[in-house]
Amino acid sequence: MSSKVRTDHVLTRGTVIIDVEACKGCDLCIDACKPGVLTMTELLRNDRGYRFPELEAGCTACRACAQICPDFVFQVWKFDEPVEMMRGPVPSSRSGERATA
What CATH number is associated with residue 62? 3.30.70.20
State residue 5's pLDDT score.
Answer: 57
Q: Which residue range(s) make up the domain with 57?
A: 9-94
In a domain, 19, yes or no: yes
What pTM did the predictor assign?
Answer: 0.82
The pLDDT tens digits for 73-88 are 999 999 999 999 999 8
Cβ contact 73:23 at 8 Å: yes
State residue 91's pLDDT score.
Answer: 76
Domain count, the chain: 1
Residue 58, sorted as left (phi over 0), alpha (psi -120 to 50) or beta, turns out to be left
Question: What does each C-alpha distance from 34 to 58, 68, 85, 98 come to in angstroms?
Answer: 11, 12, 19, 28
Nearest CA among 91, 82, 80, 100 for reference residue 18: 91
Average pLDDT over residues 19-28: 96
Any residues with CB less than 8 A from the CB of 3 and at least 6 apart, and which? none
The pLDDT tens digits for 3-21 are 565 678 999 999 999 999 9
State residue 8's pLDDT score.
Answer: 87
